[in-house]
Amino acid sequence: MSRRASSRQLPATGLALALAPVVALLLAIGLAAWSPEPRAEESTPRPVTIGSKKFTESVILGETLRLLALDAGHPSRHRAELGGTRILWGALLSGEIDIYPEYSGTLVREILAGEDLSSPERLEAALSARGVRSSASLGFENTYAIAVPEPLAQQLGLRRISDLREHPDLRLGFSSEFLERADGWPGLRQRYRLPQTRVQGLDHDLVYRGIAAGHLDVTVVYTTDAEIARYGLRMLDDDLGYFEDYQAILLYRAELAEEAPAAVAAFRRLEGAIDAPTMAGMNGAVKLEGDSEQTVAARLLSEGLGLEVTVSGQGFWSQLGQRTLEHLGLVGVSLGAAILFAVPLGVLAAQQARLGHLILGITGMIQTIPSLALFVFLIPWLGIGWLPTVVALFLYSLLPIVRNTHAGLMDIPVPIRESADVLGLTRGARLRLIELPLAANTILAGIKTSAVLNVGTATVAALIGAGGYGQPILTGIRLDDTALIMQGAVPAALLALGLQGLFEFAERWVVPRGLRLKPTDGVRTDADPDPERPRA
């Protein structure tokens, strides 16, 4: 078998020659697609970066702030749908964003929970200590409310949250964030002594589908949600006063007032300018009538503040091209770096049995961390966007390559190694001339598996502002728009197939035909379970 490999002059450097151009291509595409934040010239107005949470109202307000900044003469960027409260707050403190819309109840009961905020002066001092300032209320409150379908409410006589105590079998479905928040389900259940145990956590936009499909009976809503009327829900009276005041406000970095005073002045024109019916109407225009957030924001500025702003849309192909470059930037760099790092790591794991256990254990443990949790974990050190995403994807790509490299080397029959020793080959020569060529098929199978997983995991990165194909998927889920979801899902699938084809082409070049006949796909399951077995 090794003789046939030698006849193609591949054993010495075949694997490296095949992988080198592929890795170089991935890194080149990734770095070319990555575009760092532009640095503003001293003479140009300071750019303003705006953030928003992953629900429609926050995206509309974020888009409104972007248009206001542009009208004030400042370049601006809206990093939309950046996940939940903790991600936005962390991004504001680290300077990744300059301003985002928040709610007073969330600020007091979740972000600064546990601090003495008994007066407005104490709250202002707590924010100032963190380099943050707050605007006055924008004019409307958007608090939580517990809601049930109207027919069910009439059937069971549900009018107050306290009435839920008499119906322990009701199925509750809340947003995942509400389940964990200090002002969420744990406190609500304790305050009302609710007996329900069938509580599911899911995305806020999906709870409405659960209600409509009859899989849920009770959920939590935002009081300005357009879906409340659309799905015929009754909001139960908060008879024990659990949900406090949640006035819409703006949180921004303190230095923004000095570096971009015109922009801050423009933002503060929104104070008291939006009442609850107006905000609910804007949510409905986006979610029920199909208007874009940008169009709705421009209409608010025109009708509410008398500002005429220019709305510029981006065509489908232009958006697809931008998202493709963003996704390639994430996948190319992370996968290329993972190949360069993981193959030697797999070789080391195969040569050092005890160290191999540790390497396989650590890479396996990384794989068990939920992707979003790893992204959030990296934010304090790496910020949001491209860099933490590439690091997370790199870590997720290690296990299939390391394990398959290890398995491929350990699967080589002992007599072949003994034959190499008889020929007088050194350990390095045996690895280079005999073992790596024989294991190439398995190593490339691991790389292909890693590439497919990498492309899929990268779609989650849109939650921390990395863009890519995940952006239309998130927006489509939020707006219940299947066509928009497919605009991200289909290109991602095609990209995964393309990368797999690229590595199959490399496989045909590097692996002798006889070895390619051996069926191997994905992580090897027939690998020697005992990496400490004696080796020649």
Question: Of 380, 409, 382, 408, which Cα lies nearest the Cα of 393?
Answer: 382
* Helix, strand, coil share (%) of the chain residues, nearest 5: 60, 10, 30
Are 135 and 64 in contact, with CB atoms under 8 Å apart?
Answer: no
- pLDDT at site 205: 77
pLDDT, averaged across the chain? 85
Sign of CA dihedral 219, 371, 111, 468: negative
How, if at all, do strands 199-202 and 172-175 pair?
parallel
- pLDDT at site 44: 77
Find all residues with CB under 8 Å of 161, minimum gap 6, and list them. Answer: 146, 188, 192, 236, 237, 238, 239, 240, 242
Type of residue at 58: S
- pLDDT at site 176: 80
- pLDDT at site 383: 80
Measured CA to CA, the distance from residue 82 to residue 20 in angstroms comes to 36
Phi, psi of 137 (to 5 degrees): -60, 145
Are 234 and 148 in contact, with CB atoms under 8 Å apart?
Answer: yes
- pLDDT at site 346: 93
- Side by side, which strands form the sheet with 48-51? 76-79, 48-51, 99-103, 248-253, 132-134
Measured CA to CA, the distance from residue 58 to residue 342 in angstroms comes to 41
- pLDDT at site 38: 52
Question: What is the 3-class SS of 394-462, one letter each residue?
Answer: HHHHHHHHHHHHHHHHHCCCHHHHHHHHHCCCCHHHHHHHHHHHHHHHHHHHHHHHHHHHHHHHHHHHH
Measured CA to CA, the distance from residue 147 to residue 151 in angstroms comes to 12
Phi, psi of 248 (to 5 degrees): -75, 130
Alpha helices in 8-119 (DSSP H): 14-33, 56-71, 85-94, 104-106
Measured CA to CA, the distance from residue 208 to residue 477 in angstroms comes to 11
Residue with tokens 């990093």: 79
- pLDDT at site 504: 82
Mean pLDDT in consecutive groups of 10 residues from the start of the chain, 536 residues: 43 59 69 58 78 92 95 92 86 92 90 84 92 95 92 95 93 86 87 89 83 90 88 93 89 94 95 93 90 92 85 79 90 91 93 91 90 80 85 93 94 85 82 85 90 91 86 84 89 90 77 57 47 45
139: left (phi over 0), alpha (psi -120 to 50) or beta: left
Q: Is 351 helix (H, G, I), strand (E, B) or coil?
A: helix
How, if at all, do strands 218-222 and 172-175 pair?
parallel
Task: Read off the pLDDT of residues 394-421 as tens digits, 9 standing for 90 and up.
Answer: 999 999 999 999 999 998 888 888 888 8
- pLDDT at site 8: 46
- Side by side, which strands form the sheet with 218-222? 199-202, 172-175, 218-222, 144-149, 233-235
Find all residues with CB under 8 Å of 281, minimum gap 6, and list them. Answer: none
Measured CA to CA, the distance from residue 186 to residue 207 in angstroms comes to 18
Burial pattern 437-462, b for ≥16 Cβ within 10 A else e, equals: bbbbbbbbbbbbbbbbbbbbbbbbbb
